[in-house]
Amino acid sequence: MNGQAWLLLLEGAWTTLWISGVSIAIGVLVGLGIALLRMARIPFLDQLLVTYVSLARATPLVTLVLFLFLAGPTLGLGLSRETAAILALTLNTAAFNAEIWRSAFISFSREQKEAALACGMTNRLFFRRIMLPQMLTSSLPGLVNEMSFLIKSSPAIAVIGIVDLTRVTNRISAVTYEPLPPILAAGLLYMLIIGILLRLQAIAEKKASRLAM
């Protein structure tokens, strides 16, 4: 491959990275919010959130991307390609993240809360200083696995015309009639992205462990 092909691959990798990154950041926070609301056990709201989580986890990502982009104008949304892609990825990953956070909530020891409140801690201080760091430590592997899965599933956004890394790879293969070099290059770029993510996980786990001590 020539330099122009590598430049196109890097541009595609950047598109994959920023769309996935924005979706992951929003999805982690939305998932945490859903988990908190579910732990509040508000009857109607809890059932609504359970339905959303179940539907989002069961719906193929490519179907969700197409629905939001094609049905958007009919519903009066008029989403751009990038907005539809981010919304689809966010709705998908938030549902999985919500279950990861909820598992961390359920497994948390109630005795710690009782001891902290007995020492004069407020609920807010207890959550920030004790509960959240421990939840981050236990949830981080699951959250990072979901982030990795979302990045590897992100080629689904190419169906609405977004020129991501996989779409660029197909274009180069179609022009050069040599599919193997761009596929190998794209694989290396995906491995680099996931490798950086895993490295950040290791750093975050160390910091979370210190906070939880």
If one counts every other C-beta atom within 10 angstroms of the C-beta of residue 184, the result is 12
Q: Of residues 166 and 132, which shows the higher confidence score? A: 166
Rounded Cα gap, residues 56 and 150, in angstroms: 13
| pLDDT range class, residue 9, cuts 50, 70, 90 | very high
Q: Mean pLDDT throughout 65-69?
A: 92
Q: Span 3-212: which CATH code? A: 1.10.3720.10
Mean pLDDT of 31-52: 91
Enumerate the H helices of 119-179 as residue ranges: 123-126, 132-153, 165-176
Name 27's Cβ contacts closer than 8 Å, sequence gap at least 6.
89, 90, 92, 93, 94, 97, 150
Q: pLDDT band at 210, cuts 50/70/90?
A: low
CA dist., res. 173 & res. 176, Å (int): 5
Percent helix / strand / coil, the chain, rounded to 5: 85, 0, 15
How many distinct helices (H) and strands (E) make up the chain?
A: 9, 0
What is the reported pTM?
0.88
Query: Any idea which residue has 């407020």 for tokens?
Result: 122
Cα distance between residue 121 and residue 202, in whole Å: 30
3-state secondary structure at position 61: helix
